[in-house]
Amino acid sequence: MLELSSVYRAVEILRRGGLVAFPTETVYGLGADAENELAVRQVFAVKGRPSAHPLIVHLGTPDRLDAWVRDVPRPARVLARTFWPGPLTLVLPRSARASDAVTGGQETVAVRVPDHPVAIELLKAFGGGLAAPSANRFGRVSPTTAAHVRSDLGGDVELVLDGGPCQVGVESTIVDLSSGVPRLLRPGGVPKEALERTLGEPLAIASGDDVRAPGLLPSHYAPKAGVRLATRSNVDERVRALLEEGRAKVAVLGPVGTIAPPGAKLFLLPEDPAGQARALYGELRQIDTEGFDVIVAVLPPETGLGLAVRDRLTRAAH
């Protein structure tokens, strides 16, 4: 159990410019005081992340939005009211409070209010915004437990607040509302359908060459093992081809009911897309731990959280 005293210690570390890893409902974040440029630069150093890649500012309550954003258009208010706290990030025109260090020099800032009791307690006690990327090394799978964070970042982070396993398991959905047309930059914890219902219009999908969001880079979210995409009906064929190529350690990752041919080890995910999202990163890490060199992954349907799971697997396969 998390002690209240660790939240106080976290606040003390953040106030003097240190880094704290904390749980959110999506994945663990590596947090720094968003108004302390040196602290923010330290986040990039620890992650090994290029500094032009912007960070999400995490807020304790929705009413803090106006401090970080210049103009809050009506659709942003509606989405914030409906989905915060929750796994939705909004990209909006930045206020002077959002420094170049946080935004990567862009005129927009990404903000969200996470839905996790420890994150909220921490953000409220801290008072300001926390700039936080996922608490993994750049380009690797995001951490969904405190143990994942420790194994990735080790001694480079002063404190890891343990809030148990993340309930959503994939990163937040990112919507760009900084221009007239709402655009989906990254599918995530809030289904696209739910956003479209609330907005009353379809969401445009960001083009693949939008370099402002490294989460959109094809090679992002990759385990060490190579990933090959499959459907439930062609798993067998895919695995046999790999075994014939001489691949010794082949893993199959798919929903309950998936069948792996002899010679491959099966890693099962729950049947429903939300369950798959929750379990996905943990399973990918387990497969890496066991030293597999290739994963044959069964893609879920594109609906609900299935879209985010497909997106991460597809990027991992690149």
Instruction: Select the span of 128-136, 149-157, 172-180, 230-238 touching Mg ion (CB under 5 A).
Output: 128-136
> In angstroms, what CA-CA distances link 201 with 81, 207, 257?
17, 18, 36
Measured from the CB atom, the residue of 36 and 134 that comes closer to Mg ion is: 134
Measured from the CB atom, the residue of 132 and 160 that comes closer to ligand TXA is: 132
Instruction: Select the span of 78-86, 111-119, 130-138, 190-198 touching Mg ion (CB under 5 A).
Output: 130-138
Measured from the CB atom, the residue of 30 and 296 that comes closer to ligand TXA is: 30
How many residues bind Mg ion (CB under 5 A)? The answer is 1
Three-state helix/strand/coil letters over the chain: CCCHHHHHHHHHHHHCCCCEEECCCCCCEEEEECCCHHHHHHHHHHHCCCCCCCCEEECCCHHHHHHHECCCCHHHHHHHHHHCCCCEEEEEEECCCCCHHHHCCCCEEEEECCCCHHHHHHHHHHCCCEECCECCCCCCCCCCCHHHHHHHHHHHCCEECCCCCCCCCCCCEEEECCCCCCEEEECCCCCHHHHHHHHCCCCEECCCCCCCCHHHCCCCCCCCCEEEEECCCCHHHHHHHHHHCCCCCEEEEEECCCCCCCCEEEEEECCCHHHHHHHHHHHHHHHHHCCCCEEEEECCCCCCCHHHHHHHHHHHCC
Residue 134 binds Mg ion, judged by CB under 5 A: yes
Instruction: Select the span of 129-137, 183-191, 238-246, 279-287 touching Mg ion (CB under 5 A).
Output: 129-137
* Footprint on residues 88-147 left by ligand TXA (CB under 6 A): 89, 91, 103, 106, 108-110, 114, 132-134
Residue 173 binds Mg ion, judged by CB under 5 A: no
Residue 26 binds ligand TXA, judged by CB under 6 A: yes
Residue 214 binds ligand TXA, judged by CB under 6 A: yes
Measured from the CB atom, the residue of 55 and 250 that comes closer to ligand TXA is: 55
Compute the least distance from the CB of residue 107 to ligand TXA, in Å: 8
Measured from the CB atom, the residue of 94 and 228 that comes closer to ligand TXA is: 94
75 neighbors 199 (Cβ within 8 angstroms)? yes
128 neighbors 111 (Cβ within 8 angstroms)? no
Compute the least distance from the CB of residue 204 to ligand TXA, in Å: 14
Residue 108 binds Mg ion, judged by CB under 5 A: no
Which one of 121, 171, 283, 311 is in contact with ligand TXA (CB under 6 A)? 171
Compute the least distance from the CB of residue 232 to ligand TXA, in Å: 29
Instruction: Select the span of 85-93, 144-152, 242-250, 268-276 touching ligand TXA (CB under 6 A).
Output: 85-93
Edge-to-edge strands of the sheet including 88-93?
159-160, 20-22, 29-33, 130-131, 56-58, 108-112, 88-93, 173-176, 183-186, 204-205
Measured from the CB atom, the residue of 17 and 214 that comes closer to Mg ion is: 214
Instruction: Select the span of 6-14, 23-31, 122-130, 146-154 touching ligand TXA (CB under 6 A).
Output: 23-31
What is the binding site for Mg ion (CB under 5 A)?
134
What is the binding site for ligand TXA (CB under 6 A)?
24, 26-27, 29, 53-56, 87, 89, 91, 103, 106, 108-110, 114, 132-134, 171-172, 174, 185, 212-215
